[in-house]
A = this chain, B = another copy of it.
Amino acid sequence: MRLTSFTDFGLRMLMRMAGDPSRAFSSAELAADLGLSRNHLAKIIQHLARAGLIDTWRGGGGGAMLARSAAEIRLGQIIRLLEEGQPLVECFGTEGGTCSIEARCRLKTRLRSAEAAFLADLDRSTLADIALAPQEKSAGTLVVPQ
């Protein structure tokens, strides 16, 4: 049982944006922040933008920003979106007609139910619950820039 790194990275990006929802993040900044390639991140941003979860602006001072309040975005919704087209088992896919036991298979129902339970559990939380607060300097310790 595995989520793609596409989803993994997408979630971390959103967590970061949710931690500072009033400003736009450039893909370069997010990439540096998370230690990932800008190009790869850009793909994820596009996907999220197309789905209306974030807004993006080109040009100088552009970037990406949550389109809605983080408290209104449920985690299940995010995962559903990022894992789009990733069937739990092959026969759940668009061309999964190769199963020899199709008609007699009582497994599919159980798997769908379990998948739903997974997402329902995630839907109990919102993006606001996992927002990543801006890096905090440890209190009481003076940080001396070198």
**A residues in contact (CB < 8 Å) with B:** 1-5, 7-8, 11-12, 15, 33-35, 75, 79, 83, 86-91, 100-101, 104-107, 110-111, 113-122, 125, 129-130, 132-133
Contacts and interface: CB of A to CB of B under 8 A. Distances in A.
Contacts of A115: 1, 118
Contacts of A107: 11-12, 15, 130
Name A's interface SS. Answer: helix
A101 B11 CA distance: 12
19 contacts: A1-B1, A1-B86, A2-B89, A3-B89, A8-B90, A15-B107, A35-B100, A105-B132, A110-B125, A111-B122, A114-B119, A114-B121, A114-B122, A115-B118, A116-B121, A117-B117, A117-B120, A117-B121, A118-B118
